[in-house]
Structure 1
Amino acid sequence: MIKKSVFTLAGMTLLIAQSLQAAPLRVAADPVPHAEILAYVKKIDPKLDLNIVELSGSVNANELLASGDVDANYFQHLPYLKDQEKALGKTFAVAANVHIEPLGIYSRKVKSLDALPQGASIAVPNNTTNLSRALWLLQDKGVIRLKAQGAAGSTLVTPKNISDNPKQIKIIEIESPQLPRSLDDVDAAIINGNYALEAGLTPAKDALGLESAEHNPYANLLVTTPELAKDPRIVQLAKDLTSPQVTDFIRKNYHGSVIPVADEKHD
């Protein structure tokens, strides 16, 4: 009787595993460029049954993942993920490093950073990691100086860490999706690559200042749960997203505004 029970349990486990593998893989993603890249994956790998869940508004894709509403998400970089793990009390798993969206400084009022007026207002993302990232970018471009030590991505900073602000720049914190809309109201805005692309901006052409892709710690990730990290569907999607075909698709379609991690490694 004991052997029969063990066999039955093993059979049930196998059936459950097979059922999961047969089910569509639900992946939450920002519309641009993430969902577009996933749509291309569906084209080149039709055997992988992808259900792309496009994110909108204030939906938290990590909460969706933690609650089991999706199997993976593709929209965030590692510093943001770590911050989310602390906030949600959850542990996630990185399945692949896919691409970099350089953070950019944009303006409809000035043509260069040197032309920023005294007391200029600059809108920045209001979440902890991207606010810090924006301030490091402003230092890199010579607009401010920080008293923090380390490099972008390794040390979180806030406006309190600004030690030198010769133009008396005013930092205005705004929710990331709203930053493109703020361009008419501020002298400049620092906008995440995906939101810039959605707003019709071309980061590689339109930004007054752009993050370097070299040694950039903000690669966008395919993220899942520890339980699904070895799921064959996740493994295959990770393989697809880092394949030569997808790398070429990103190069040809985003013209330096989205940079495959494979390219950064060869800088």
Structure 2
Amino acid sequence: MKLKKSHLALIALVVIVVAAILIVPQLNKTKKILIGATVPPHGNILEAVKEDLKKEGFELEIKVLTDYVTGNPATAAGDLQANYFQHGPYLAQYNESVSEKERLVGAIGVHYEPFGLYAGSKKALDELAEGDHIAIPNDPTNGARALFLLQDAGIIKLKDGLTPQTGATVLDIVENAKNIAIDELNAELIPAALQDVAYAVINGNYATGAGLSPKDDALFLEPSDGEAGKTYTNFIVVKPENENADFVKALKKVLFTQKTYDFILNSPEFKGGVIPVFTVSGK
């Protein structure tokens, strides 16, 4: 039996409508990704690219990390697709402490945060006195970084031959003219302990989070164009099998833009303590 042309047209129309109903939601569907980040500045930077990332097909959810301990295990376990809170030496130290299946990779280098030496009960470096206490972070990589900063400031001297890559501990101090006491504390607790010590070395993100301006308030600051800037780049970190995943490519695309570059440099919340390490095409 032959179908009338009108019937054929109606069938064709139904097929087109059904196909549209099935296909359009798939085209509009975004994939969710969960990234753990400290605030500021990491979470703020991710927040700034949320809408751009949605245009690339990914809906970003940010889980705020309040310490340096939980982000890597959660990423290795798959509870987070990525994390953004750490520099290269910290990641290397973590990878050395875990099994191969728990190791992670730095997929996108985004920014650098200069360490600073801040006033506690003493307001200037020329007030440094015999037996004063200086607080530094107690994790191995940031503790070593703090010791190199104190050496650059002329307060202590470390053994010859040590570098950020080799690390350093308080046992490597060979000169300490004023017998300074080094108090090793959790990095996130140091800003609250400022009045309990003469001075403190504070991570850039915790300094800005406490209302301090690295550019204006630090008594001594790492030079952003020196070796520290290259060594302590902060990365978006993922499992090795995700290093070239579509969501990582999309993140890199939306992060490495003039918009993000300007946001990092000019955000009043960062107070000059966050420096982008990527270059923008055409700059």
Shorter-chain TM-score category? 0.7 to 0.9
User: Deviations for 1:203-229, whole angstroms, at most 9, x for unmatched residues?
Assistant: 111111111112321011011011111
2:47 to 39, 48, 53: 39
CA distance in 2 between counterparts of 1:255 and 1:246 reads 16
Root mean square deviation, CA, Å: 1.7
Contact 1:37 1:250 in 2 (8 A): yes
The counterpart of 1:172, out of the listed 180, 183, 188, is: 183
Say whether residues 1:156 and 2:170 are aligned partners: no
Partner of 2:17: none
Q: Is the 8 A contact 2:135 2:200 kept in 1?
A: yes
Correspondence list, 1:194-233, <5 A: 194-214=205-225, 215=227, 216=229, 217-233=231-247
Check conservation: 2:117, 2:220, Cα contact below 8 A. yes
Give the match for residue 79 of structure 1.
89
Aligned to 2:78, the other structure's residue is in SS state: coil
1:14 alignment counterpart = none
Q: What is the distance in 2 between the residues matched to 1:229 and 1:111?
A: 45
Q: TM-score, normalised by structure 2?
A: 0.82
Q: Which residue is 1:4 aligned to? A: none
Q: Which SS does the other structure have where 2:40 is aligned? A: helix
Shift in Å at residue 197 of structure 1?
1.0
For 2:133, which of 121, 132, 138 is the aligned residue?
121
Q: Partner amino acid for 1:114?
A: D
Instruction: Name the counterpart of 1:237.
Output: 251
1:255 and 1:107 map into 2 onto residues whose CA distance is: 17
Letter in 2 for 1:37: I
Alignment of 1:16-31 (within 5 A): 22-31=30-39
Hey, what's the Cα distance between the residues in 1 that align with 2:108 and 2:69?
Answer: 22
* C-alpha distance in structure 2 between counterparts of 1:231 and 1:186, whole Å: 46
How many angstroms does 1:57 deviate by?
A: 4.7
Per-residue displacement from partner, 1:175-215 (whole Å, max 9, x unpaired)?
11100011010101111011111111111111111111123
- Alpha-carbon distance, 1:22 to partner: 4.6
* Structure 1 runs, 4 residues or longer, greater than 6 Å off: none
Q: Secondary structure at the match of 1:32?
A: coil
Partner of 1:97: 109
1:108 Cα deviation after fit: 3.0
Residue 143 of structure 1 pairs with residue 143 of structure 2? no
Distance 2:44 2:221 in 1: 23
**Helix, strand or coil at the partner of 1:220:** strand
Aligned equivalents of 1:171, 1:224: Cα separation in 2: 34
Moved more, 220-229 or 87-96: 87-96
Match of 1:52 in 2: 62
Q: Of residues 88, 112, 119 in structure 2, which corresponds to 1:107?
A: 119
Counterpart AA for 1:135: L
Deviation at 1:256, TM superposition (A): 2.4
TM-score w.r.t. length of structure 1: 0.86
Does residue 261 (structure 1) correspond to residue 265 (structure 2)? The answer is no
* Contact kept? 1:148, 1:157, Cα under 8 Å: no
- Cα-to-partner distance string for 1:17-36 (whole Å, 9 max, x where unaligned): x9xx9531111000201111
One-letter amino acid of the counterpart of residue 153, structure 2: K
Aligned to 2:262: 248
Contact 1:159 1:171 survives alignment (8 Å): yes
Cα distance per residue 1:10-67 (max 9 Å; x no partner)? xxxxxxxx9xx95311110002011111000113433231111111256510011011
Contact 1:196–1:203, Cα closer than 8 Å, also in 2: yes
**Greater radius of gyration (CA):** 2
Mapped contact 1:113–1:143 kept (Cα < 8 A): no
SS of 1:204's partner is: helix
**Amino acid aligned to 1:238:** K
Aligned residue in 2 for 1:188:
199
Tell me, which stretches of 5 or more residues in structure 1 are unaligned? 1-17
